[in-house]
Amino acid sequence: MSRSTGGARYRGPSKAVVWTAVAGAAGAVPYLVMKIYWLAGGTAGKPARMNLGDEFAKNGAPRFLVWLERHGIDFTVVGIMLGIVLLGALVRPWGQVYPRWVPFLRGRRVLRWIPLTPGWTAGLGLGAYGCIGMSVILTGGLSTAHTAGLAPGVFVIGFLNFTSIGVSLSVCSLSYQRRTRTVRA
């Protein structure tokens, strides 16, 4: 689909790419639900007295991440939500042409590298991380010695989340890259 939005031209993705973005976002839902459940005080899947902020600090995480976790803000949830917004940018018109509510930029073309850099970086990184994690689980390599008391299902939910968001970001980034390249005669 191609249409004019103000001064710039929008080229839409195929339905398969749009459904890939939807599937990637949907694949993140169980992970987001699990993390919100834990934030609300739920303990299913983790030891009842486990404090993720303390676990982060014990494992040498940066102070900022420990602070976020202790204040109820899980950085992975923030990252996944940003990934879902990025999926939208890669398949919707506002990812190619600034919408009318953006001051000074409305109607102008979005520079290609703005969505492509995080799209490819997160897509390839998260996709690889999720696939490697799932292969460890599927081959029986997840031992209870390395789970910090978390249920194996927590790892399945997490790695499926990272796989779905990573693969969909990669597919949508490739589509965006192809649709927004300049055509020279």
Helix (H) or strand (E) holding 4: strand 2-5
DSSP readout, 7-45?
TEEEEPPPHHHHHHHHHHHHHHHHHHHHHHHHHTT--TT
Tell me the whole-structure pTM to 2 decimals.
0.85
Do 127 and 24 form a contact (C-beta atoms < 8 A)?
Answer: no
Helix (H/G/I), strand (E/B), else coil: 147: coil
Q: How many angstroms separate the CA atoms of 103 and 100, rounded? A: 8
- pLDDT tens digits for the chain (185 residues)? 555 445 557 788 999 999 999 999 999 999 999 988 888 888 888 877 777 788 888 888 889 888 888 887 888 899 999 999 999 999 999 999 998 888 999 889 999 999 999 999 999 999 999 999 999 988 888 776 567 778 888 999 999 999 999 999 999 999 999 999 875 44
DSSP 144: G
Q: Dihedral of CA 162/168/171/174: which sign?
A: negative
**Per-residue model confidence (pLDDT) at position 69:** 84
Distance of CA 168 to the CA centre of its chain: 9
User: What is the token pair recorded at 142?
Assistant: 């997840």
